[in-house]
Amino acid sequence: MSSDNLQLTSDLLIDGDVDRRAYFAQRLTICSEDYRIVQAADGLSGLETYDLERIDCVVVELDLPDMSGFQVLMHLVKNAMRPEAAVVVLTHLSSPALAELAMNNGAQACLVKHRVSGDQLDKAIQKAIAAVPPTWKEGRAT
C-alpha cells in the first residue's frame, strides 16, 4: 500500500545484522513504493552516509559492531528538545530502560525487532519524520 506522498522518503537503516537489516528494508518497500532505503552495516558508515546523502529518517540498532547506537543517536540529535534528525531505534534489546533512555535522548520511537511488523515500523518512520520540522532537517550541519 503506497502512501499519498508524491515524493520519495529516504530512510537509512543502520544495523550490523545483515539479515535483519535486509528483512526490514524489504518490509518497508512492501509497505510503500515511496521509500528509498539506504543501508549501513555499522555506526561509522551510517553517520558518513547520513552526512553525504539526503536522509529523512534514520532507523538504528542500539547494538552495533563498532559503536553504540546511542552514540549514533547523540551525533544525530544534539538537543532532544529540538531534534534536527528523525530517528527510530529498532533493536533486538528489549529493555524498557533502554527504550526510555533512547526516547529521552531524541529518538522519536524505540521498537523491539521481534515485536514489530513492517507496518508498525512504517508508521513509526512517518510519525518521526512528521515530528521533526522540515526547516530543522534542511538546516542541519553536514
Angle in degrees, 0-180, between the axes of helices 43-52 and 69-76, rounded to the nearest 10: 20
Structural domains of the chain, with CATH: 9-138 (3.40.50.2300)
pLDDT score recorded for residue 82: 80
pLDDT single digits (tens) 39-88: 999 999 999 999 999 999 999 999 999 999 999 999 999 888 788 899 99
Question: What is the chain's alpha carbon radius of gyration, rounded to the nearest angstrom?
Answer: 14
Residue 86 pairs with which residues in a beta bridge? 57
pLDDT score recorded for residue 1: 40
With beta carbons less than 8 A apart as the criterion, state whether 46 and 69 touch: no
Calculate the alpha carbon distances from 95 to 27, 40, 98 in Å: 24, 24, 5
Cα angle vertex 65, ends 62, 68, to 5°? 35
pLDDT single digits (tens) 103-131: 999 999 999 999 999 999 999 999 999 99
Helices and strands (DSSP H and E) totals, the chain:
6, 5
65: left (phi over 0), alpha (psi -120 to 50) or beta: alpha
pLDDT single digits (tens) 11-47: 999 999 999 999 999 999 999 888 999 999 999 999 9
The residue to which cell 515530528 is assigned: 131
